[in-house]
Amino acid sequence: MEKRYFNRRRVCRFCNEKKTEINFRETYTLKGFLTERGKIIPRRISGNCSSHQKDLTRAIKRARNIAFLAFAQER
């Protein structure tokens, strides 16, 4: 018997919550889209739609410049 793999379609978290804006001051939300090294998780893994992924990336970069988030995690 062959194993069949079922891949669930990832749904954009921001579209489900009907969130219109992603704020760079919400660091707790933004940290969920960063790896332990501090890199931004890509869209194909996070499941965000393209418009929300662009907004998320912009918000993370703004938070890094203002020092709400670190550019890289300490070792």
User: pLDDT digits over 14-48, tens only?
Assistant: 999 888 889 999 999 999 999 999 999 999 999 99
Token representation of residue 67 = 């020092």
17: left (phi over 0), alpha (psi -120 to 50) or beta: alpha
Domain ranges of the chain: 17-39+49-75
What whole-number distance in Å separates Cα of residue 1 and Cα of residue 65? Answer: 54
**Helix (H/G/I), strand (E/B), else coil: 27:** helix
What was the pLDDT predicted at 75?
Answer: 66
Assigned CATH for 17-39+49-75: 4.10.640.10
pLDDT in tens, 42-75: 999 999 999 999 999 999 999 999 999 888 877 6
Q: For 13, phi and psi rounded to 5 degrees?
A: -65, -35
What was the pLDDT predicted at 5?
Answer: 76
pLDDT > 80? residue 7? no
* Other C-beta atoms lying within 10 Å of the C-beta of residue 24: 20
